Structure 1
Amino acid sequence: MKVIVVGTNHAGTTAVRTLRRLDPKAEIVTYDKNNNISFLGCGIALWVSGEVKDPKGLFYASPEILQSEGIKVNMEHEVLSVDNKSQKIRVKDLKTGKEFDDNYDKLILAIGSWPIIPNIEGINQEGVHIVKWYQHGELVKKANDDKNIKNVVVCGAGYIGVELVDAFHQKGKNVTLVDILDRIMPRYYDKPFTDKVENAMREAGVNLRGGEKVIKFEGNNNKVTKVVTDKGSYDADLVIWSVGFKPATEILNGVIDLDKNAAIMVDQYMRTSDPNIFAIGDCVEVYDNAKKAPAYIALATSAVRTGVIAAVNALKPEGLASPGFQGSNAINVFGWALASTGVTETVAKDLGFDYEQITFTDNDRPEFMESYQEVLIKILWDKKTRKIIGAQVGSVANHTEVMYMFSLAIMKGVTIDELPLVDIFFLPHFNKPYNFITLPALEVLGLNYFKK
């Protein structure tokens, strides 16, 4: 059995190492156009802020580690095309320019995603950066440490953009955040949660410019100096462009089935429309248990899970099925720790769901303790089935791990009526006998005698 894995990002590295764990004798070959393996891109903000001192810790593997496990590693090799009829790929060695073919029995595509870069005037000037690879993080880190760079404009108020705003603020930069939508992280959190973070950002001096479209980047001697939107202009010594990602699937048009957004369509075994080709990570759409439909969920935890599933099924057909995904995520910025899973109310409305919700606030520990913090939580459920379809939590204290329980609840079809009687522990150091997880459900059932 010969398995070729294209891409050694989180998904690809997980697949490769799982393959080797399952079959010590399989011929495993990897190709990647990058020169490093398994870089944790979401750690760039931690590196830029200085919280992570040594970026080597952001790599989960290395070519040497994979080679020591008997895997043939080909870095700086770009896969140009896939011929699924002949079961071979066309590869270009980026160091020599030489092209060659390689045959496979099974092919696992971990080709990932790439930042969306529109054709905007001035976007290619010096000082305008994307953030994806280690090399990008290195450039941004160097710029952030430069005392001559004072004004930073971040375009895009998703996770990466907001985390980098926090990182630049920690270094004392004047930071402006621009987004075409009117609030930050709308895909992951409803307004009561994003309001908390936005208020903290404003108090920190961040210039929030929601509802503005970037028109162009002005510069001097091909170096960016200003970001111009449809409503204003902002001085910029450094610009971060982080408006989202798209699946890097251009070479697969006409080879396997792609969805309307160019993500690879897979089944619960990570098989594509070709049974000998699997796809994993940020290039695929997966089944979303909350939406009851395929969805594009580009998260590291989703990537590694798909890597394990594909590796098992490449060696043993239908040996491991995906239980589905909930898009569980978290963020820690400007003193706030937020987490969510499933759908938000914003998404539920957009999808036309018939749902109900409760937004609830309580202290995390008994008031007789010396200290305690307020926790904001929101739970959504299907009006007909009563099954939980989404949850969000936010506090200045870290309670993000409660989303593990809600993620499992969505996956297993737990109802809002079952939640009040879930067997949880009580210890005053950490929580209350009935706490911010179970009290909202008691409130829904009209049983909350703790209500103030």
Structure 2
Amino acid sequence: MANKKTIIVIGGGYSGVNLIEAIKKDFHWELRENMRVILIDKNSFHFKKVKLFKGIVNDKVADLSVPLKDYCGTAIEFIQGELAKIDAKKQTIRIALQDGSFDELYYDQLVLAMGSVVREADSDCGGFSLTSLESANNIREQLLRKLQSPDINLRVVIAGSGITGIETAAEVGTWLKEEAEKAGNKQKSIEIYLINDKQRLVNDAPEKVGERIESRLRKHGIHVLHHKKAERFTDNQLYFSDRSSLDADVCIWTIGLKSHPDLCKLGLSLTQDGKIKVDAWYHASERNIYAIGDCVHVVDPMSGAAAAMSCKEAISQAKRLSKIMKADLDGSTAAPHQTYPDLLCIGLGPTDGVVWAKKWGMDFVLSGKVAERIREYTWSMSSINR
């Protein structure tokens, strides 16, 4: 790498910050002498999206945001702005800056780590979609008001049973009971219902794992309704697709993630669900344009499995891509994408959790406080212990 090279990373989510960290380690001396690395994000901070539900149970959640300059240090430049255009022929990008102006930057290698956004229920569905800290705070205030009402019963439904839905149900249930005791309202009946439109929980893991999670949820007083697709919440009724309904005081929608909506504006080849198509080395439309994380569709060349949208995949892809980028600049070859080993970590409130791992053809399942500590460790590791 005789000439100074410029690497631009778009996105300061889990894949972006982990890529920055990997570049620091893998390029090391080149970073000082022959490299210019720029991180670009519309926000000035990395947001711990997987812990968004914590905003409901805790009004002091400043630790969910980490300044991106903390990740960059002195070796990486940071620009706050949004990607507006890619000119692959000129190897330039156009950035919309915070003051309304635009800047054009040249790149030798460009990485799109634009991640995903939280799905929001349609406005006519009623209830609250857990999509941001603002929405989490609105949900918190609504729950506290309901808790202070003279009604004996309080029923909350969580519509959406992915990992976020499961963790939200457990955290909210524990928190509401604690708040009721603090208020001297111990007689208040608090019910949490988790609505699952599938046959069982966590279909990606063995059936016994889903059963273990559901068993732990029952111990926390969480009711799970299977084969129920929630459609709308109105007049204290949650209506299902089978025309049945459930009385409820509050409805929280946790309906998963979708690829970043701005990807369709960049002229890249996308899948039907809006993900960037990349090869096994994360190359997109051009060999010097890469993409990783929730925004990509990448397949393991050995197993044929497509990567899931998860933090553990983002970390793995980031570490692998750094080596691929270095090899591409050096004219050598690095190992291609490999699906992250089977692992599932779910928090079930502040003192419980379930962890499943598959190794040597065997399933290992842990639950309780040890599993909760492992889950805390994975959250911390995803944001590089910040």
**1:242 paired residue among 254, 274, 277:** 254
User: Post-superposition shift, 1:148?
Assistant: 4.4
Q: Which has the larger radius of gyration?
A: 1
Counterpart for residue 67 of structure 2: 62
Q: Provide the residue aligned with 1:321 in structure 2.
A: 335
Alignment of 1:348-363 (within 5 A): none
Contact 2:209–2:356 (Cα < 8 Å) also in 1:
no
CA distance in 2, matches of 1:148, 1:235: 19
Which of 103, 106, 120 is residue 103 of structure 1 equivalent to?
Answer: 106
- Residue in structure 2 matched with residue 122 of structure 1 by the alignment: 124
Whole-Å Cα distance in 2 between the matches of residues 90 and 109 of structure 1? 14
Contact 1:341 1:391 in 2 (8 A): yes
Superposed displacement of residue 102, structure 1 = 2.9
Closer/same/farther in 2, CA of residues 241 and 33 from structure 1, 3 Å limit: farther
Aligned AA (1:241)? W
CA 240–96 in structure 1, closer or farther in 2 if over 3 Å, else same: farther
Q: CA deviation at 1:232?
A: 3.1
Note closer, same or farther for the CA distance 1:67–1:288 as it changes in structure 2 (3 Å cut). closer
Distance 1:333 1:401, change over 3 A: closer
Letter in 1 for 2:363: A
1:313-347 Cα offsets, whole Å, 9 max, x none, are: 334415642461234221232776433356xxxxx
Q: Name the structure 1 match of 2:311.
A: 300
* Structure-2 separation of matches of 1:270 and 1:213: 36
The Cα offsets for residues 343-394 of structure 1, whole Å up to 9 and x where unpaired, read as xxxxxxxxxxxxxxxxxxxxxxxxxxxxxxxxxxxx8xxxxxxx83x73524
Identical aligned pairs, as a percentage? 20
**How much does 1:271 deviate?**
2.2
C-alpha distance in structure 1 between counterparts of 2:284 and 2:6, whole Å: 18
TM-score (normalizing by structure 1): 0.65
Consecutive aligned runs of 4 or more in structure 1 exceeding 6 Å deviation: 399-402
Q: C-alpha separation between the residues in 2 aligned to 1:272 and 1:16?
A: 19
Q: Identify which of 198, 211, 217 aligns with 1:201.
A: 217
DSSP-derived class of the 1:274 partner: coil
- Letter paired with 1:391: D
CA–CA distance in 2 between the matches of 1:281 and 1:136? 25
Say which SS state the counterpart of residue 217 (structure 2) adopts: helix
Whole-Å separation in 2 of the counterparts to 1:254 and 1:54 = 37
User: Are 1:281 and 1:298, in contact at CA under 8 Å, matched by a contact in 2?
Assistant: yes
Q: 1:251 aligns with which of 260, 263, 267?
A: 263
* Cα distance in 2 for residues equivalent to 1:109 and 1:206: 39
How far off is 1:47 after superposition? 5.5
Q: Deviations over 1:231-267 (max 9, x none)?
A: 4334555432222222226435773333343322333
Q: Which runs of 5+ in 2 are unaligned?
A: 178-189, 375-386
1:24 match: 32
1:10 to 8, 11, 14: 14
- 2:82·2:96 contact (CA, 8 Å) conserved in 1? yes
Q: Distance in 1 between matches of 2:297 and 2:13?
A: 17
Whichever structure has more helix as a proportion of its residues is 2
Is the contact made by 2:345 and 2:371 (CA closer than 8 Å) also made in structure 1? no
Q: TM-score, normalised by structure 2?
A: 0.74
Structure 1 residue 162 displacement after superposition? 0.4
Q: Which residue of 1 aligns with 2:356?
A: 340
Aligned pairs (5 A) from 1:30-179? 30-37=39-46, 39-46=47-54, 48-49=56-57, 55-59=61-65, 61-66=66-71, 68-75=73-80, 77-93=81-97, 95-117=98-120, 120=122, 122-123=124-125, 128-131=128-131, 133-141=132-140, 143=142, 147-148=147-148, 150-171=154-175, 172=177, 173-179=190-196
- SS of the residue 2:287 aligns to: coil
Instruction: Quote the Cα distance in structure 1 between the aligned partners of 2:144 and 2:32.
Output: 46
Aligned to 1:233: 245
Q: For the structure 1 residues 322 and 57, does the alpha-carbon distance in structure 2 shift closer, same or farther, using more than 3 Å as the test?
A: farther
1:331 corresponds to which residue? 346
Structure 1 residue 101: Cα displacement: 3.3
Structure 1 residue identity aligned to 2:68:
P
**Residues 15 and 254 (structure 1 numbering): CA distance in 2 closer, same or farther, change over 3 Å?**
closer
User: CA offsets per residue over residues 8-37 of structure 1, 9 Å max, x none?
Assistant: 011101222333442124222222223421
What CA distance in whole angstroms lies between the structure 2 residues aligned with 1:144 and 1:16? 39
Question: In the alignment, does 2:230 pair up with 1:218?
Answer: no
Distance 2:135 2:12 in 1: 17
1:46: Cα distance to partner?
Answer: 4.8
Name whichever of 26-35 and 230-239 sits farther off: 230-239
1:153/1:105 Cα in 2 relative to 1: closer, same or farther (>3 Å)?
same
Q: How many residues align?
A: 341
Query: Structure 1 residues 151 and 88 mapped into 2: Cα distance closer, same or farther (>3 Å)?
Result: farther
1:391 matches 2:337 = no
Q: CA RMSD in A?
A: 3.4
